[in-house]
Structure 1
């Protein structure tokens, strides 16, 4: 299990989560990996106690609810801030540091959304 707390700023939205200042929130591993090292967050991996009955059950990571992937338009992407675009890139399996500017980020998102639609048909 992973938790994070917003320690700078008032709010922060990323990967479908909205974080409020000084509010500890349970997050998924992929969100933890994205936010860990970000100076605005205090991220922790919480180990379950040994006597916790939940630890006796096999861990099934694939039981996370499947969210309907949102398809963004070019206009919506241009209206987003850089961190929002990067969150979408991570959701699509990309690596945000690979992109030098907004145009490259938007092109990647639009292209990958189109590929996912074709694969889902």
Structure 2
């Protein structure tokens, strides 16, 4: 079993799953493989508990943390136009949500990228 938690942005839609900020969701292996390493998510492989009484006598290694904690970034990532063009639509929309925009207002990639670049510059100027 695999889980993913959206840690940046408000919503994120991918492969038929809609993720909301800080809500853990069970996902399939292919979705885990796609999202694992994405800075917007914390993904984990959850080992199913075994009801076999023989394993209860063994030393439990489940008490150890599975993942190292990443330090949260204090500064918002500033994306270049090239990085934004390399992103898929879902990734661009997640950045728009982070910047306080509504992804449904944009008709195409050019409009999404223009919004992101403009709002990043405004946030840099205001020091947010």
The TM-score normalised by the length of structure 1 is 0.54
Q: 1:75 aligns with which of 53, 74, 82?
A: 82
The TM-score normalised by the length of structure 2 is 0.52
Q: Deviation per CA, 1:79-98: give whole Å up to 9, x if none.
A: 11111111111110111111
Following superposition, which runs of at least 4 residues in structure 1 exceed 4 angstroms of deviation? none
Task: Point out where structure 1 has 5 or more consecutive residues left out of the alignment.
Answer: 25-64
Q: 2:113 aligns with which of 94, 106, 118?
A: 106
- The SS at the match of 1:85 is helix
Higher relative contact order (CA 8 A, sep 6+): 2
Higher mean displacement: 103-112 or 89-98: 89-98
Q: What is the CA RMSD across the aligned residues, in angstroms?
A: 2.5
Are the aligned partners of 1:11 and 1:19 in contact in 2 as well (CA < 8 Å)? no
Task: Point out where structure 2 has 5 or more consecutive residues left out of the alignment.
Answer: 1-21, 47-71
Aligned residues: 79
Report the alpha carbon displacement of residue 70 of structure 1 after superposing the two structures with TM. Answer: 1.0
Q: Which has the higher helix share?
A: 1
Distance of 1:18 and 1:83 partners within structure 2: 17
Q: Which has the larger radius of gyration?
A: 2
